[in-house]
Structure 1
Amino acid sequence: MTDLVVLVVVVALLVLASSRFRIHPFMALLGAALVGGVAFGLPLVDGEDTDGVVTVVADGFGDLLGGIGLVIVLGTVVGVMLERAGAAVTMANTVIRLLGDRFPTLTISIIGYFVSIPVFCDSGYVILNSLKESIAKRAGTSPVAMSVALATGLYATHTFVPPTPGPIAAAGNLGMADRLGLVILLGAPVAAVTAGAGLLWANRFRDEAPAGLQERLQESREAFDEVRESVGPLPGAWASFAPILVPILLIMLGSVAELPAAPFGDGVLYTGLAFLGEPVMALLVGVLVALPLLRGRGGVGAFTEQVAAAITAAAPILLITGAGGAFGAVIQATDLGDYLGSSLSALGVGIFMPFLVAAALKSAQGSSTVALVTTSALVAPLVGSLGYDSDLGRTLVVLAIGAGAMTVSHANDSYFWVVTQFSRMSVAQAYRAQTAATLVQGVTGIVVVWLLSLVLV
């Protein structure tokens, strides 16, 4: 019981540090791990049979990054290459050609769903904003409805589908780093349902005009024009989609190859698919497939620059992820997991527990990635006691955390302000449209995950 009080205090201080005092999540998590370790009564120095608190923290940090660090970096490299080459714009144009503009909110939602798999939702929204405006004008649909449809489509895959770094980090914390195919297989349809829920909410605003200043439309056009001019000629559809689809296909085939039924046998085919299906190798193949995007854009020099940009973008995520692993290792070193697991199981909370924790962290400090990493580290020791210790069970816990990590986006979330500013909505209007939409998405997501748990676990 004392450990539970310590945990509540440490988590409250963690949320307060990152939201109220704006301390970087890496330092907040690292501090929580060290303070928590001392408060939990872990030894201050290493003994003959026990590790000291510093060793536990360092091992937790290194063990997690050892399994998932390269995946995060390579996934970010693919995303930067696609963004710099204008592939996101090509993917959007391809979907428009396939679907037309008869159902504009559906079209822009689907575009967002695919673009946000490799590209962060903030960047994706900026890149696609001008396209969204032009479709809205062509179809005579309210920009408010179009803005929410795009934002929720981007948001769905951002929190559910690897190789987005947040879901990858959560999967790593929960021991699913080598089972990303399963996370993708279940995460993609759950993300589709939540995107659909966001779309339905967006359609409530089809007749509502933006309440913000008209000048913001010019700002969004200028921002897009800068992006568009910087990328030059757009790549083709295959070149744009392949760096995403090929790694996903390889990861899924690798997962199938590892099934007990051994559908590919145990020979060369199995070995090849199992090797290429490893997330690190699959994403490395994705980087190679993306290399033709550099043709005429600077070659090796451009590749080096983009890799450097990706490393810079991935560094904070790596540090936050590693610190989350350290925090989780401290909790695992106590008996708190067994106590909380048995207590929560008796309450019948089940799969809703990780959702509620992630939702509380997301609402308090604003970052979906931080909510995914922190919650997954926190609940990792509890999955066995909750009855979710199988691969399917852990995958559902990852998705439950993803649902919580989108609940809700409001004023402390940078994405909220990206959507608000570029859509010309007032803050009050954005709360009714965008914030409420993320609430609808999160609740829909956890309901779908709960239904899946009734069938699969």
Structure 2
Amino acid sequence: MLPVHTKSLIMSNIAFTSTLVVLSIVAIIYLTAKLKANVFGSLFAVSLALALLGTDLPLAKVIDTLKIGFGSTLGNISFIIIFGAAIAVCMQKSGGALSIATNILNLAGKHNAKPAMAWTGFIPGLTIFCDTGYIILSGIARSISANAKVPMPLIASILGSALFAVHCLVPTHPGALAAAATLNANIGWLVLAGVAFSVPGLLAAYFWSAWMCKGQNYAPAQLEQEEAISTAQLPSFGFSLLPVVLPLVLISISTLLTTLGYKTGFAAPLHFLGNPVIALLAGMLCAMWLLAKNGGKKGDFSHVLEEAILKAGPILIITGAGGMFGAIIKETGVGSALGQALGSASVGLLVPFIIAALLKTAQGSSTVAALTSAAIIAPSLSTFGLDSDAGRMFAVLAMCAGSMVASHANDSYFWVVTKLSNIEMKESLRVFTSATIVMGLTSFACIWLVSLFVL
């Protein structure tokens, strides 16, 4: 047994280090949210300061630790993010995303405009970033609002929430993907679970948005003549779905075979195809074929990759910086101490959710919220009872649900939804922002409830 004064010294060191970690998180929030400082610069500066003040690393090892944390994170996700961005660019340029949306709406009819709007965002949103998806689909949203006489704030909130739900929870998107890479969670299972848990969250946001608009004098959209949507030149619905569905199917098949115990023999080629990098590459090739089939030229493919790299670059840099910050937090040992203090899997899931929700609300980026939460939680997985395949998956899902709460004025996506819908900020805050809070809380409640039977 340790002497009392030794225990006191250890507790003092833990308290001091924990305070430094908390202050470092506050510093990142303050720099990025209040001072509008560059996210990478903020993460690097705070990581370096924490390494010098809060760890026992020799000076010669500080930079090496930063580089290893940065590089290992990028190695896990860089190809996937670039190929995913290329799919999004091709789907936009070929009209594939618009084809999916218009076909869903045509099948549903005007009397089902609201649920159709939810599916219109949900399916393309599986691979397209939420801001890109809203930009592409905003014209359809205004058209449906005007023709079906549905208040525009309601249509905007439903479409925005549908895109946002899968953007936060499904690891075809950078926040969930970075968190999964940091915690070494199974991406195949996360894809399936993310899609499943995004549905109750979206349903909650859907009914909440309708309730918030009830009795309000919100008007339908007013269309200009040039906003009439022509669908004659769009690719077919089936071909448009291929780049979205194929990667998900390949990853799911590989995951199912692993679960059933088939890892070699006939399953080996399927596991290769189900590797997220190869699956997203297959999706990208299908998307490029779709673009070529619908007016694309030979030089367009180089431009697609260039545009995808430009879109992916900032995300990769920020994600790598988050991994760097996580590597330094791991060196402080505070994660293990936090896990020992809280001690159980059910409580443990609440911690990443709260951290992600606070980060998201304070600084605006769901991606930064998810990856920073993952970096903080990773060292304490075993003491939370989450150091298993299922535990890691639920930890990622919890922080991704937290990264939904809440989209408001410091989030660029909030302004995309507000401005492209031509609605007032106060209307958007009242309907859309509150819907993201309800969506995050509902998704987490479902995640936590299921975890009670699984963990």
Name the TM-score, length of structure 1 as normaliser: 0.91
The answer as to 2:317 corresponding to 1:319 is: yes
Task: Give SS of 1:351's match.
Answer: helix
Residue 45 of structure 1: how far off its partner (Å) = 2.9
Supply the AA of the counterpart residue of 1:258: T
Q: Matches of 2:192 and 2:296 in 1, distance apart?
A: 36
The answer as to 2:71 corresponding to 1:62 is: yes
Alignment check: 8 A CA contact 1:337 1:381 kept: yes
Residue 139 of structure 1: how far off its partner (Å) = 2.3
Q: Matches of 1:186 and 1:99 in 2, distance apart?
A: 27
Counterpart position of 1:238: 238
Q: Matches of 1:307 and 1:417 in 2, distance apart?
A: 27
Alignment check: 8 A CA contact 1:239 1:292 kept: no
Counterpart position of 1:410: 408
1:287 aligned residue (275, 284, 294):
284
The answer as to 2:12 corresponding to 1:15 is: no
Residue 347 of structure 1: how far off its partner (Å) = 11
Counterpart position of 2:269: 272
2:183 aligned residue (170, 174, 178):
174
Alignment check: 8 A CA contact 2:157 2:435 kept: yes
For residues 133-176 of structure 1, the C-alpha deviation after alignment (integer angstroms, 9 at most, x for no partner) is 22223322222211111111111101011212221111111112
Q: Matches of 1:265 and 1:122 in 2, distance apart?
A: 38
Alignment check: 8 A CA contact 1:210 1:425 kept: no
Residue 348 of structure 1: how far off its partner (Å) = 6.6
Q: Matches of 2:345 and 2:291 in 1, distance apart?
A: 55
Supply the AA of the counterpart residue of 2:196: P
Counterpart position of 2:193: 186
Q: Matches of 1:162 and 1:284 in 2, distance apart?
A: 15
2:435 aligned residue (434, 437, 446):
437
Per the alignment, do residues 62 and 313 of structure 1 end up closer, same or farther by CA in structure 2, a change over 3 Å counting?
same
Per the alignment, do residues 84 and 232 of structure 1 end up closer, same or farther by CA in structure 2, a change over 3 Å counting?
farther
Counterpart position of 1:49: none
Residue 265 of structure 1: how far off its partner (Å) = 6.6
Residue 294 of structure 1: how far off its partner (Å) = 2.5
Alignment check: 8 A CA contact 1:42 1:53 kept: no
Counterpart position of 1:140: 149
Q: Aligned pairs, how many?
A: 439
For residues 120-140 of structure 1, the C-alpha deviation after alignment (integer angstroms, 9 at most, x for no partner) is 211211221221222223322
Unaligned stretches of 5+ residues in structure 1: 47-51
Q: Matches of 2:57 and 2:400 in 1, distance apart?
A: 34
Q: Matches of 1:314 and 1:265 in 2, distance apart?
A: 32
Residue 255 of structure 1: how far off its partner (Å) = 1.2
Counterpart position of 2:210: 203
Residue 98 of structure 1: how far off its partner (Å) = 3.0
Per mean C-alpha deviation after superposition, the further-off stretch among 344-353 and 317-326 is: 344-353
The answer as to 2:44 corresponding to 1:30 is: yes
Alignment check: 8 A CA contact 1:68 1:169 kept: yes
Supply the AA of the counterpart residue of 2:53: A
Task: Give SS of 1:333's match.
Answer: helix
Residue 346 of structure 1: how far off its partner (Å) = 6.8
Q: Matches of 2:408 and 2:219 in 1, distance apart?
A: 17
Alignment check: 8 A CA contact 2:344 2:384 kept: no
RMSD: 2.1
Task: Give SS of 1:119's match.
Answer: coil
Q: Matches of 2:366 and 2:76 in 1, distance apart?
A: 21
2:298 aligned residue (297, 300, 309):
300
Alignment check: 8 A CA contact 2:74 2:319 kept: yes
For residues 18-61 of structure 1, the C-alpha deviation after alignment (integer angstroms, 9 at most, x for no partner) is 10111111111122211111111333433xxxxx1111110011
Task: Give SS of 1:299's match.
Answer: coil
Counterpart position of 1:330: 328
Task: Give SS of 1:116's match.
Answer: helix
The answer as to 2:254 corresponding to 1:254 is: yes
Supply the AA of the counterpart residue of 1:241: L
